Amino acid sequence: MRRISTATRLIASLLVALVLSLGVLPAGTAAALTWYPKICTGFTGCSSSGYGNAAYSGVYTTSHWGQYRGHNCTNYVAYRMIQNGITQFITPGSGNATTWGAQARKKGVQVDKLNPEVGDVAWWDNTLMGSSGHVAYVESVNRSAGTFVVSQDSWGGDFSWRTYRISEVSGFIHVGNKTPFGELNDLKAGTGQVTVRGWTIDMDKPTSALKVRVYIGGPVGTGERHDLVANLKRSEIGAIYTGTGKNHGFKATLTTELKGRQKVYVYAVNSPSGTNPLIGSGTVTIADPDPVGSVDTLETLPSQVRVAGWAADPNAPKSSLQVQVYVGGKQGSSTAEVATTTTGSKSTAAAKALSGAGTNSGYDTTFVTSKRGRQGVYVYAVNTGPGADALIGKGTVTIPDPLEFTASVAISGTVRVGKTLTAKPSFSPAVDLTYQWYRDGKKISGATAAIYTLTPTDVGAVIKVKARGAMVGYVTKTVTSPGTPRVALGTYTIRSNPRFTGTTKVGKKLTVHTGRWQDNGRTLGVTWYRDGVRFKAGTSKTYTLTSKDKGTRITAKVSYKRTGYKTVFKSTAATAKIAS
């Protein structure tokens, strides 16, 4: 409080005592306040009535925070702040109570006219109470009645407890568990979404990011709740509330199931506890986020269902969309069969029904189902982004049984190693077939074409082939051919006969050239003859003439051998008579 002379203080004390004894205020202030009777007066009187003073009665003659000693509103409140561990937020020894609000704001302390809490400072400036203002310590709050109770001391008066109205203060200096404050700066809605932007601070934890709760469709406890954290950079807020940092902003796009015109409420969450104040609200119109579409064609074929139409999602109107067709039950049914297709065909209906929808929003799909007879068909557009899958069409159909092929298969070709066998199917109606060849009843690995070449492994075996036909609307059918005769050995084709080279004289060497034949290089046998009488056999293709050969003619017989084939024998022409 400001310094004044002792005489002036004495005169003022007498005037105040007179005013208080009469129950009135000086002119210009009485009309602004509602004066409730004091609950108690004096340290002893209040104590005997059960209203304490936090031991101030023993130290009130001591200066606290540099305030004037004795009965003095600022000295008492300063004492209570010290007792509560509150850091001094006023300049020591200067300023009346009327300046406390301004000084508190400069120190980053929240000051407002809302949400008083126990332990806060109630503050009246000199426009509401006296020439120097007044401060008091909040002891209790009755929000429903709009009142609060304080303990207070008075310059030139005495200690007391009294009731005041919440609306009739210059402000509450929120100390201790302070009530958070902030603003909702922006509120808008989209398709299945609401976007909020703003800031909030709690002076109990001035540099910490505060939680924010958004309720869509109703106030706290009734609306759809969304939790945020105010940790985004808002430098301009930090500049106003010094010492709080820069990161107290929030901005979020919230997905909601609510649609149409809705009220939105935004609350700051008190830290560590206490009242969660409403920092903003507004009304938005939320567009329906669910997909839209139609079923324009619903028909059946044997064992098939065909559906066609269009579908689009407001969240991504130009993107392709999945469409699910359920037969025999709705989405989620455990007994229904489901087929999935994707939009991509041309459609003009989508663009007319949904703004921004692409021209490729059509779908047309035919799928096979095991369901038969009368069945319900349900078509859903699969949602993307906010919203849910949407039923875009339904109907009832009768699904006929599948048709059957008239089918058989036979084998043509020579049943001998090296030759090819060909499957000769007869399916009506004509259909693409798959094949599998069998050797003595066992699958031949890799033999899945219409033509099969017999190998040495097949010698002596019976060969069969199975043909399988599958077509939408028909029962898949597999038929087996009759077996072939047992596979015979193959035969070689010898392209040229063997012949000799060398000199037909005793002591000279003869060499057999085996000629050209299939799979040249297989094991060969050579048997040598002298005037038709065998004298040597083996695999050697050379022979050195001896004296026994003098005057005779030499021939050689070559055997051509290969697994799975008949052995072929070919002889050379006889040499001239062997000379000495």
Determine, yes or no, domain membership for 240. Answer: yes
Same domain, 32 and 160: yes
Secondary structure letter of residue 56 according to DSSP: G
- Supply the pLDDT for residue 475: 87
Please tell me whether the peptide bond between 429 and the residue prior to it is cis, using omega within 30 degrees of 0: yes
Structure tokens at 160: 């007391």
* Residue 53: alpha-carbon gap to chain centroid: 59
Report pLDDT digits (tens) over 484-511.
999 999 987 777 889 999 999 999 999 9
Residue 30: the pLDDT is 40
Residue 27 pLDDT exceeds 70: no
Whether pLDDT at 92 is above 80: no
Tell me if 493 is assigned to some domain.
no
Cα torsion 531, 535, 540, 542: sign? negative
Residues 29 and 86 occupy one common structural domain: yes
d(CA 350, CA 346): 10
Structure tokens at 413: 């070709």
Same domain, 13 and 137: yes
- Full-model pTM: 0.44
pLDDT at 124 over 60: yes
Residue 514, domain CATH? 2.60.40
Beta strands in 288-432 (DSSP E): 292-301, 304-312, 322-327, 337-342, 362-368, 373-381, 390-399, 406-412, 420-428
Indicate whether 39 and 18 sit together in one domain: yes
* 97 shares a domain with 26: yes
Q: Among residues of the chain, what percentage have pLDDT more than 90?
A: 61
CATH of the domain at 476: 2.60.40.2700
157 occurs within a structural domain: yes
* pLDDT band, residue 157 (cuts 50/70/90): very high
Question: Residue 12's pLDDT band (boundaries 50, 70, 90)?
Answer: very low
* CATH number of the domain that residue 69 is part of: 3.90.1720.10
Higher-scoring residue by pLDDT: 535, 356 = 535
Total structural domains within the chain: 5
Q: What is the pLDDT of residues 448-461, one digit of tens each?
A: 999 999 999 999 99
* Percent of the chain with pLDDT strictly greater than 70: 92
Domain boundary residue among 395, 426, 456? 395
The predicted pLDDT at position 459 comes to: 96
pLDDT tens, 274-295? 778 898 999 999 988 889 999 9
End-to-end CA separation in angstroms for the chain: 155
Residues 16 and 149 in one domain: yes
E strand or H helix that includes residue 77:
helix 73-83
Range of the domain at 342: 292-395
CA dist., res. 573 & res. 250, Å (int)? 107
Give the separation between CA 455 and CA 566, rounded to whole angstroms: 13
pLDDT at 371: 92
Q: What is the pLDDT of residues 513-570, one digit of tens each?
A: 987 776 655 667 899 999 999 999 988 899 999 999 999 999 999 988 888 888 889 9
Spell out a b/e string for 534-565, using b for 16 or more CB atoms within 10 Å of the CB, else e.
eeeeeeeeebebeeebeebbbbbbbbbebebb
For 72-76, 79-83, 91-95, which range has the lowest pLDDT when averaged over its residues? 91-95
Average pLDDT over the chain, rounded to an integer: 88
Whether the pLDDT of residue 334 is over 50: the answer is: yes
Q: Report yes or no on 577 lying in a domain.
A: no
Q: What is the pLDDT of residue 349?
A: 85
Does the pLDDT value for residue 13 go beyond 50? Answer: no
> What mean pLDDT do residues 73-81 have?
93
Residue 559: enclosing H or E segment and its boundaries? strand 554-560
**Has residue 391 got a pLDDT over 90?**
yes
| 64 and 110 inside one domain | yes
Compute the distance between CA of residue 73 and CA of residue 156 in angstroms, rounded to an integer: 10
Asked if 412 and 469 sit in the same domain, the reply is yes
d(CA 433, CA 408): 12
Q: Averaged over 228-253, what is the pLDDT?
A: 89
